[in-house]
Each structure stands twice: as structure tokens, then as C-alpha cells.
Amino acid sequence: MKTYSAHKIFTGTEWLHDHSIITENELIVDVVPTENIGTASTQLYSTLIPSFIDIQIYGAHEKLLAVYPEADSLFRLYEYCKDGGALHFCPTVATNSNEVFFKCIDAVRDYWKQGGKGCLGLHIEGPWINAAKRGAHIESFIYKPTVYDVKTLLEYGKGVIKIITLAPEVCTEEVIGLIQSHGIIISAGHSNATYTEATTAFNKGIYAATHLYNAMSPLQHREPGLVGAIFNHSKVRASIIPDGYHVDYAAICIAKKIMKERLFVITDAVTATANGPYPHQLVGDKYESNGTLSGSALNMKKAVQNLVTHCGIGLEEAFRMCSLYPAQVLNINGLGKIEKGYMASFIEWN
């Protein structure tokens, strides 16, 4: 049993002062006033908050997972995430060959086998997307999937694949239903769907969208597109990249006012690499691939700071956008809060 005492604890819903978190077997047993436990922990913290969760990040410390599909890449990625306050993450692979996807699936299994922490499963972004909204994705890898294609990937990635980003207008209802039957979260993205197409897909169970505004049909007054469908559907959540490059901060403010708790944060972070089909170069505070914006240099702590400083979002809500809301997207009830029965997953906030 371990005890963590702090002057302030943000539980995910409220601030507690001079309280202690009692944990056992990596679960929170109780949260009580420090004066009630007799002896405090050996270390007194200033402020503790729920740890962050990054469900879209591609690599770190010069090891992009798609280029180096091995456990070491994930250990490096975990260290990068942890430095930014994210103790949980979904390593992500952009549109690629099945060979690369399979190797990345193997890497996750090997990482878990070696005791690697924090990895919640693989996020596969593409290749079943719309080439018209491919962004930095390689067009030659993009295709419309058959049921056989989907079964092949899902069977190999059983227990590892957590999220698939796809364009709903590119995939048949049978394909989408098959993915959902495996308990995998579908996120609409890199899509040129009309408002009607997107709304129909949302009504049939797709409840997430990948990096709002980026690589999707925009909101226009005669065709509201995927952005309009996301705004107007009360059950759809969308990720956003608050680095000031992928999305103007004013656009984040607009989305937040409309979507409220349905908007959550991803870093979309990559790392420098000259190898593979996606060579990423650091240009200022962002990455480019073949001259196209390809990823951020964010971590979650910086994302929180940007939301507060540039978007006027309250600190507590910024915390939730990086912790509680991603946990809800992943349907994980034990993360995102500091409460009895939740995982003992929290960080110190300065």
C-alpha cells in the first residue's frame, strides 16, 4: 500500500486541499484528508492531477514506429509521453503497407511482453481513407477495402488494434460493421464525406473523429461537410491538435464553444527521420514531410498551456481535454479521474 499526499489534488471534477491518495496494486483505494491517516507519505507533493492520455502519436527520440517497428521504439515513445504527463498512449501508424502494420502489431505485443507500460493499443490511421483528403499520407497505399482485406488485418491485430481512422464514405456498411464487431473504435478522418454521408455514419455507431478541421471536408454554408456533421451531432467526439499550426487557436475556441466536452486533445507528434515513406523534418515547432505539414512537436503539458494561454480555456477543463475525455473515447472507466476504484495514474503539475 502506498500513500501520496498533496497540498492540492484535482480529481477530474473538483479540487481537494491537503488530501492523500491511498493506493494498492496500482488502484486507488481511497482519497482522504491527510490529517485522517496519521502519517503522510514520505514525499509531499504540491499539486496532483489525473495523468494525460495521448491516443495519436507516431514516435519519439528519432524512432518513428513505422520505420522502426520494434519494442525499443515504444519504450522511447513512453518516455516522451511520460515527460509530457501522458502515462498512457496509443502508438499510431499512418497509411502504410500491411507488412508495416503487422510488424507494428508485433512490436506492441513484444513491448507488452517485456513489461512496457502505458500502451493502450495501436491506432491505425488509414489506409482506408479518401485520397482527396490524404494530407501527408502516401497516395499509393490508399485503397477501398474489401471484407477480406479487413478480416486479414483484424485477425492479425486481435487484441492489439484499438482505433482505426478511416473515411466512412470509402468503406461499405459491411466493412464498418465488421470492424465494430471486433470492439475496435472507428474514428472518421482523412475524409471528404458530405454532411449527409457523415451524419449517416455517425447515426450508425461511429462516434469519434480524427484531428478536427485537418484533412476533412470543411464547414461551408451550402455543404456543411464532415466538420458540420461533427459540430451538429451530440454524440460525436473529435480530437484536435492545439499547436497553433494545425489549427488556428480561434478555430479551437469556436469548436470548444460548440462541442464543449466532446472536444479532446491529441498531440499528433512525430519525430525526425530521414527513412521510410514519411521523412519528417523539424521546421520551427512543427514537422513537415515532403513539404507538407505532417505532425506536431507537442507534448500534452504544452497542449494544456496552449489551451489556457491562447484559447482562454480554464485549466481544469484543459486537464479534462487531455485526460478524462480521451479515456471516455476509449471507453476506459478507470482512467481520467482520481477517485476510489480508478487506476493509480496521476502526475505532479507545476
Catalytic, 268? Answer: yes
Please state, in angstroms and rounded to a whole number, the distance separating the CA atoms of residues 293 and 72: 26
Beta bridge partners of 119: 89
Looking at residue 327, the DSSP 8-state letter turns out to be H
Q: Whole-angstrom Cα distance, residue 178 to residue 176?
A: 5
Q: Which of 30, 83, 248, 268 is catalytic?
A: 268
| Half-sphere exposure (Cβ direction) of 163: Cα atoms closer than 13 Å | 30
Cell 492520455 locates to 53
Q: Strand pairing of 263-265 and 286-289?
A: unpaired
CA separation for the pair 106, 240 (Å, rounded): 29
| CA-based R_g, the chain, Å | 20
Query: Do residues 57 and 91 make contact, with C-beta atoms less than 8 angstroms apart?
Result: yes
Strands of the sheet containing 286-289, edge to edge, are: 280-283, 286-289, 292-296
Contacts of 257 (CB under 8 A, 6+ apart): none
Residue labelled with grid coordinates 498531440:
267
Active site residues: 268
